Amino acid sequence: MSRILPWRAVVVWLLVALLPALPFMSKFYLLLAFDALLFGAIAMSLDLLIGYTGLVSFGHAAFFGLGAYSTAILLERGIVSLWVCLAAAVLVVGLYALVVSYFATARRGIYFALLTLIFAEVVFTFFRYTQTFGGSDGIQGVPAPQLTPTFAIDTPLRNFYLVLAYLALAYLVCRVLVASHFGKVLVAIRENEDRARFLGYNVQRYKMAVCMISALLTGLGGALYPGRSAFATPDLMLWTVSGEFIIMVMIGGLGTLAGPVIGGAFFVLLQEKVSSYVDWYFMVIGLVLIVIVLFMPRGLLGIRGMLGFKQWRATA
């Protein structure tokens, strides 16, 4: 059990759960914490592909956006049950991910990345020019989802604890996955795909499976977003959003679970603080990424090793 759920993760989760008790945690900071935890969890799910399997996806924004639209469409039509929204997101994102993974995993390297990007651009264009779903404006002003008929997720505090529960679930799923034989096969595919195939593993099937798991976790995160923002727009599916997810993974540390969560939170906080001073905040973020790539190739999680502490295991 300690391998699946290490005590460090439990302690950190409990400390994060106590954040709303701090005196400076206003509604604004609760919403900022929501974004940090949400995008950290999505970056962690993406790292299943990049860090553990060696597959770079430029289409994860489509999974996120489809999950958000699934929830927003139902909320707009008066279906406010959170469970129904999550089920719809799983169904829609799962069907789309099945198609994408089937075609994309048949190719390697840059071709996989390009195919995920092309599929995502098709989805973005569809929602961008389809007036049924609001066109470029998207779906605005949706009501808050309800956990039960008498309990709505309608405050920043409730949204914070909802996304914290989602982060815990996503971490547990990823942790079990990478610690299993399935996870070891993914690492073998990353290191030498031809050798893994020679050993008798159906490489494409493993790739499709991890793509589906990563997509579904991302889609669930997207399904929570309209409850926080009250909208879903095609901009959530832009290729630049997929690029931001990749940057979060690289900042935190490839091939880890805790690293992308740290990277996602760091990226959100850095973006918020820098954008409050200058409009060209992406230049600052780009410089930070350059420094991390050149001097901290293990990401922020690798600082422990640089400072002389015992490095976390790859599955931390």
Q: Which two tokens stand for residue 316?
A: 């931390």
| DSSP letter string, 76-142 | HTT--BHHHHHHHHHHHHHHHHHHHHHHHTTS-HHHHHHHHHHHHHHHHHHHHH-GGGTGGG-EE-P
Smallest CA-to-CA distance from 256 within 43, 60, 88, 80 is with 43
Beta bridge pairs of residue 139? 232
At residue 3, the pLDDT reads: 60
End-to-end CA distance of the chain: 14
DSSP string, the chain: -TTTS-HHHHHHHHHHHTGGGSTT--HHHHHHHHHHHHHHHHHHHHHHHHHHH----S-HHHHHHHHHHHHHHHHHTT--BHHHHHHHHHHHHHHHHHHHHHHHTTS-HHHHHHHHHHHHHHHHHHHHH-GGGTGGG-EE-PPPPEEETTEE--SHHHHHHHHHHHHHHHHHHHHHHHHSHHHHHHHHHHH-HHHHHHTT--HHHHHHHHHHHHHHHHHHHHHHHHHHHSEE-GGGG-HHHHHHHHHHHHHH-TT-SHHHHHHHHHHHHHHHHHHTT-S-HHHHHHHHHHHHHHH-TT-GGGHHHHTTSPPPPTT-
Residues, the chain: 316
With beta carbons less than 8 A apart as the criterion, state whether 38 and 224 touch.
yes
Reference 162, options 78, 118, 71, 228; nearest CA is: 228
What parts of the chain have a pLDDT lower than 70?
A: 1-5, 303-316
Q: What's the confidence (pLDDT) of residue 311?
A: 43
If phi over 0 gives left and psi between -120 and 50 gives alpha, with beta otherwise, what is residue 180? beta
Q: What is the pTM of this model?
A: 0.90
